[in-house]
Structure 1
Amino acid sequence: MKKGDVKLNAIYNFLKEFSALNGFPPSVREIGAKFGIKSTSTVHYYLEKLKQSGVIQQEENKKRAVVINGNNRTGANFVPLVGNVSAGKGILAQENIEEEIPLPQSMFTGKDLYLLRVEGQSMINAGIDDGDFVVVRQQNEVDLGEIAVVLWQEKATIKRIAQISPNLVLHPENDSMEDIVITPDESPSIIGKVVGCLKKF
């Protein structure tokens, strides 16, 4: 890499600093915002230059896919963001996945994790707000009092489990909402346990 190329050097240093601080690389848009580059194609141009110079690598089909050569462990666990969830399909079926989001390995590990975007105000007392992302571990059983993702009436809902048998009782963390009682005939299924929440800023 030529020392005279100031912007290229600056982008390279930003990639290293951001990755060291956050445990995962910046997105193309974050790089553009840092250097006042409005066009994503221009950012890709600089990344390609860095790739050609041999100082970075890029993995296919990942939005945050820059790896600094000589530091191949980014400390990130790429977790799928799941869009629509429906009965009859695996939660991590390819058609359900919108993208993969990097999470720090120091906080979230394992291959059974996925992310869901929160819609609504039913869990605000638990600190889970509309637009947040919950980190979910794929499992079919949870303990009483834990927050779970339940597939019911063809939709995934996030609630605290207040009762499991004979009826499944879902408790919303919102004082203005009542518990939801689901009978076995309605075929509810627990599809995950909430293990974290990423706040919307």
Structure 2
Amino acid sequence: MALKLTARQSQILTLIRQAITHTGRPPTRAEIAHELGFRSTNAAEDHLRALERKGYVHLSAGTSRGIQLVQASPADTAHPVTEPASLPFRLLASARELLVPIIGHVAAGHPILAAEHIEREVPVAAQLFTAQPDYLLRVRGSSMCNAGILDGDLLAVRSTREAHHGQIVVARLGDDVTVKRLEQQGSHLRLLPENPDFTPIVIGPGDDFAIEGLAVGLIRTTPLH
């Protein structure tokens, strides 16, 4: 008999079941972290390992979606697994559209996907993007205008802590969140604007710096002239 689950483990198990039902595949660790408001994928991984130890899932190494459900009765859980409205998986049943939150102003020190930052959720066609986005970030300012990213545009962002030289990233530096192109030369990092009126940001070894996500597409909100 499978061991009893905590409330959070039951939520994650429900999320996995919803994802498989709606999309035919399990969620990634990043998607679980996104849905449940974890600050990193490590928390999602810890809960998945606990679910595996308790006999509810099997995890396959080397693949981001390597989560297989193991049959277990909900009666075995301390918190029965249900389908609460508070945990919608962000793919519509058609699997052709994504229901993606629009993130407006990000308050200092708060996670980007905190509830208070979400203006609303909008359906968008999945094929618009190079990878599935976790949110649309409303661009503020003109520092990336030469890359075609204009004030008011919606930048499609996939949540990740990893990025490579030359990629356009959403980064957190101290209490500020910014969109810039990452320059990485060995251990030296800079955030480069795409506008000569702005100065590159040099990342020092003691700076409070983190990659929040990668740009995977753009929705233009202003008319072409």
| Smaller-chain TM-score bracket | 0.5 to 0.7
The DSSP-based 3-state class of the residue aligned with 1:158 is strand
Q: What TM-score comes out, normalization by structure 1 length? A: 0.58
Q: Is the 8 A contact 2:153 2:221 kept in 1?
A: yes
Q: What's the CA shift for 1:74?
A: 8.2
- Equivalent position of 1:85 in the other structure: 106
- Equivalent position of 2:209 in the other structure: 188
1:136 aligns with 2:157: yes
- Equivalent position of 1:103 in the other structure: 124
> Match for 1:174: what amino acid?
N
1:123 aligns with 2:144: yes
- Equivalent position of 2:8 in the other structure: none
- Equivalent position of 1:152 in the other structure: 173
In structure 1, how many angstroms separate the alpha carbons of the residues matched to 2:184 and 2:218?
23
* CA RMSD across the alignment: 2.6
Q: Is the 8 A contact 1:119 1:131 kept in 2?
A: yes
The DSSP-based 3-state class of the residue aligned with 2:128 is coil
In structure 2, how many angstroms separate the alpha carbons of the residues matched to 1:162 and 1:129?
21
Q: Which runs of 5+ in 2 are unaligned?
A: 1-84, 87-91
> Match for 1:101: what amino acid?
V
Q: What's the CA shift for 1:87?
A: 6.2
Instruction: Pick closer, same or farther for the CA change 1:164–1:84 going to 2, 3 Å.
Output: farther
Where do 1:6-45 residues align within 5 Å?
none
In structure 2, how many angstroms separate the alpha carbons of the residues matched to 1:80 and 1:184?
33
> Match for 2:217: what amino acid?
G
Aligned residues: 132
- Equivalent position of 2:191 in the other structure: 170
Q: What TM-score comes out, normalization by structure 2 length? A: 0.52
Larger radius of gyration: 1
Seq. identity, %: 40
Q: What's the CA shift for 1:186?
A: 1.7
Deviations 1:19-71 (A, max 9, x none): xxxxxxxxxxxxxxxxxxxxxxxxxxxxxxxxxxxxxxxxx99xxxxx9xxxx
